[in-house]
C-alpha cells in the first residue's frame, strides 16, 4: 500500500531561508529572484531554480535557463537517439513538455558526438530548440554494452551496434555531453544493482563520488557555465541511508546546480523506492532541484513528488504507446483487449489531447491489432500528453495547498479498475 505521510524534514530550514531572503541579500532564493528579474529585463539566466509553493516535501517551481523555462515538478520525455520515438518535436512541445532527455551512450555511437558538434549540436539536428538534459552514459554502458571493463579511470566497452571499442571516462562523458550541446549535463557515475553486497555498493558509491569531482572539473574547464549549461551530481548508495548521506555530503562539498537520485527504479519495487526517497530527498540541498532518474509509472511520480522530487524521466509513456498500452486518469488500458473492439468512446474522456479529441478506442484497438504505425503514434501522443497533464495537475494542487488530498483522490481513481 502507498502511504502519504509526507516528510517535513528540513522544512524549518527552508522557511528560515525564505524569511532570510528578505533581509540578508545573500540567500540562494534572493539571488534567484534577482536572476529572474535580470532575465525579464533581457539578460539571459543560465540556471535559476525558484520554488513558488510547497506542501510538506512537495513543491512547485520553475527552472529558468537560456533556452526556456522548465516548470517543476517536470516530466522529461526520453529522446534516446535524437528523437522522441513516433513524435515530431512540435507535438512533443504541444503535449506540454518543457525539456527532453537524450542518451549520451546512444548518441556517441550513432551519429557520434563529433559529427553532432559539426552539425551544430543536437538542438538544431533534431529541431528541438528548448532545454535538453543528457545522461552521462554510465548507466547504459552497464546495461547495453558488451565486454565491459571497469577501472578507476572509467569503463572500456564494445558497442552493442558494431562491436567497436570505446572508453567512457568522466572527462570523455562531459566532453561528449558538451559537444551534443546539452543544457543540463549529468556527472559520470556507476549504478550498481541494488541487490549487491553492501561493501560493493559502498565501493561503487565512492568511485562515483570521485568521478563526480572529476566531472565538475571537466565541466568547468570546458567553459560549461559560459555556454549556458548546468551540471547535476548524482547521489548513489542504493537503499542504504548511511551511504546515501555520505554520497549527498560528498556532492554538496563539490557543489552542483541540481542533484539527481540515482540507483533507484532498478528492480527494488515501489515500497523500497519510496522508503529510500523518504530520507534521500531530505539529504539533498533544498535550494536545488532534485531529479529522480528513470521513474516511472504515474503512481510512482505522485508518490515521489510527495517526497520532494522535482524532475523525472522515463521511457514508459513512449515505449508503452508502441506496445498498445495507454495511461489514463482511470488507470492503464491495454488497447489490444477485445473489449475495446466496438468501444466508440474516447481513449480518456478527461483528456484533451489530439488522440482523445479525434479517435475512438475501437479505432485505436484496430490499429494496435493490425500493427499499424499510426496506432503507436496516436498512443504515444496521448501518453505523453497524459504525463504532462499529470505534472500540471500536481503543480496546481501544490500551488493550491491541497496536494495530499489531491494525491489520495488521484490514486483512488487510478486504481479503481
Ligand atoms: Zn489523450
DSSP-based three-state secondary structure for 15: helix
Residue 343 among the catalytic residues: no
- Residue 283 banded pLDDT, cuts 50, 70, 90: very high
Alpha-carbon distances, residue 88 vs 68, 84, 181, 353 (angstroms): 19, 8, 20, 15
Tens of pLDDT, residues 75-90 = 999 999 999 999 999 9
The total of other beta-carbon atoms located within 10 Å of residue 147's CB is 9
Q: To the nearest whole number, what is the mean pLDDT of the chain?
A: 90
- Residue 147 banded pLDDT, cuts 50, 70, 90: confident
Region 281-298: what's the mean pLDDT? 97
Tens of pLDDT, residues 339-367 = 999 999 999 999 999 999 999 999 999 99
Query: pTM for the whole thing?
Result: 0.90
Region 398-405: what's the mean pLDDT? 98
Tens of pLDDT, residues 235-270 = 999 999 999 999 999 999 999 999 999 999 998 999
- Residue 3 banded pLDDT, cuts 50, 70, 90: very low
pLDDT of 43 reads 53
Tens of pLDDT, residues 89-130 = 999 999 999 999 999 999 999 999 999 999 999 999 999 999
Computed over its alpha carbons, how large is the radius of gyration of the chain?
21
Tens of pLDDT, residues 312-325 = 999 999 999 999 99
pLDDT of 106 reads 96
pLDDT of 34 reads 40
Ligand 1 mean position to 125 CA, how many Å?
28
pLDDT of 129 reads 98
Alpha-carbon distances, residue 376 vs 202, 297, 334 (angstroms): 42, 19, 13
C-alpha dihedral over 282, 309, 266, 198, to 10 degrees?
-10
Q: Tell me how many degrees the CA angle 12-16-17 measures, rounded to the nearest 5.
A: 115
Domains plus CATH for the chain? Answer: 73-314 (3.20.20.105), 320-414 (no CATH)
Ligand 1 mean position to 382 CA, how many Å?
4
Hey, which bits of 37-194 come out as E strands?
48-55, 58-65, 68-72, 74-77, 100-102, 132-134, 146-150, 154-158, 165-169, 184-186
Ligand 1 mean position to 201 CA, how many Å?
41
The residue written with cell numbers 548518441 in the block is: 107
Residue 39 pLDDT more than 80? no
Residue 67 pLDDT more than 80? yes
pLDDT of 417 reads 76
pLDDT of 26 reads 35
The catalytic position among 98, 189, 257, 313 is 313
pLDDT of 192 reads 84
Percentage of the chain exceeding pLDDT 90: 84
Distance between CA atoms of residues 288 and 234, nearest Å: 13
Distance between CA atoms of residues 135 and 63, nearest Å: 18
Residue 132 pLDDT more than 80? yes
Region 319-336: what's the mean pLDDT? 98
pLDDT of 252 reads 98
Residue 38 pLDDT more than 80? no
Residue 194 pLDDT more than 60? yes
- Residue 22 banded pLDDT, cuts 50, 70, 90: very low
The catalytic position among 135, 183, 240, 257 is 135
Residue 135 among the catalytic residues: yes
DSSP secondary structure string for all residues of 110-152: TT-HHHHHHTT-HHHHHT--S-EEE--SHHHHHHH-EEEEE-S
Q: Residue 402: CA atoms inside 13 Å, Cβ hemisphere, count?
A: 9
The number of angstroms, rounded, from the C-alpha of 203 to the middle of its chain's C-alpha atoms is: 26
Ligand 1 mean position to 111 CA, how many Å?
33
DSSP-based three-state secondary structure for 103: coil
Residue 64 pLDDT more than 80? yes
Ligand 1 mean position to 83 CA, how many Å?
21
Amino acid at each position: 500500500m502507498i502511504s502519504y505521510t509526507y516528510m517535513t524534514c528540513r522544512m524549518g530550514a527552508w522557511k528560515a531561508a525564505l524569511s532570510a531572503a528578505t533581509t540578508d541579500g545573500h540567500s540562494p532564493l534572493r539571488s534567484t529572484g534577482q536572476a529572474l528579474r535580470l532575465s525579464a529585463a533581457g539578460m539571459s539566466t543560465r540556471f535559476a531554480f525558484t520554488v513558488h509553493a510547497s506542501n510538506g516535501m512537495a513543491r512547485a517551481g520553475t527552472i529558468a535557463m537560456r533556452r526556456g523555462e522548465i516548470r517543476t515538478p517536470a516530466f522529461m520525455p526520453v529522446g534516446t537517439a535524437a528523437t522522441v520515438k513516433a513524435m515530431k518535436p512540435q507535438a512533443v512541445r504541444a503535449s506540454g513538455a518543457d525539456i527532453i532527455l537524450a542518451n549520451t551512450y546512444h548518441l556517441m555511437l550513432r551519429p557520434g558526438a563529433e559529427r553532432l558538434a559539426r552539425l551544430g549540436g543536437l538542438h538544431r539536428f533534431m529541431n528541438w530548440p528548448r532545454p535538453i538534459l543528457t545522461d552521462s552514459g554510465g548507466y547504459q554502458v552497464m546495461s547495453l554494452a558488451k565486454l565491459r571493463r571497469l577501472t578507476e579511470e572509467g569503463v572500456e566497452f564494445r558497442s552493442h551496434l558494431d562491436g567497436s571499442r570505446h572508453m567512457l571516462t568522466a572527462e570523455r562523458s562531459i566532453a561528449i555531453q558538451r559537444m551534443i550541446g546539452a543544457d543540463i549535463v549529468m556527472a559520470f557515475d556507476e549504478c550498481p544493482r541494488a541487490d549487491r553486497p553492501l561493501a560493493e555498493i559502498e565501493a561503487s558509491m565512492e568511485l562515483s563520488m570521485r568521478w563526480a569531482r572529476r566531472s565538475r572539473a571537466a565541466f568547468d574547464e570546458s567553459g560549461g557555465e559560459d555556454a549556458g549549461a548546468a551540471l547535476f551530481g548524482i547521489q548513489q548508495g542504493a537503499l542504504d541511508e548511511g551511504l546515501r548521506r555520505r554520497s549527498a555530503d560528498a556532492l554538496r562539498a563539490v557543489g552542483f546546480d541540481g542533484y539527481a537520485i540515482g540507483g533507484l527504479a532498478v528492480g527494488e519495487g515501489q515500497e523500497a523506492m519510496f522508503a529510500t526517497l523518504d530520507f534521500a530527498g531530505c539529504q539533498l540541498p533544498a535550494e536545488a532541484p532534485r531529479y529522480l532518474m528513470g521513474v516511472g509509472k504515474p503512481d510512482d511520480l505522485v508518490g515521489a513528488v510527495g517526497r520532494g522530487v522535482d524532475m523525472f524521466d522515463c521511457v514508459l509513456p513512449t515505449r508503452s504507446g508502441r506496445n498498445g498500452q495507454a495511461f489514463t486518469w482511470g488507470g492503464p488500458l491495454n488497447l489490444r483487449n477485445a473489449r475495446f473492439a466496438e468501444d466508440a468512446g474516447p481513449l480518456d474522456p478527461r483528456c484533451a489531447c489530439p488522440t482523445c479529441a479525434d479517435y475512438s478506442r475501437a479505432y485505436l484497438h484496430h490499429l494496435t491489432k493490425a500493427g499499424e504505425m499510426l496506432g503507436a503514434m496516436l498512443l504515444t501522443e496521448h501518453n505523453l500528453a497524459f504525463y504532462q497533464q499529470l505534472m500540471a495537475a500536481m503543480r496546481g494542487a501544490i500551488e493550491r495547498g491541497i496536494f495530499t488530498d489531491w494525491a489520495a483522490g488521484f490514486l483512488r481513481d487510478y486504481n479503481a479498475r
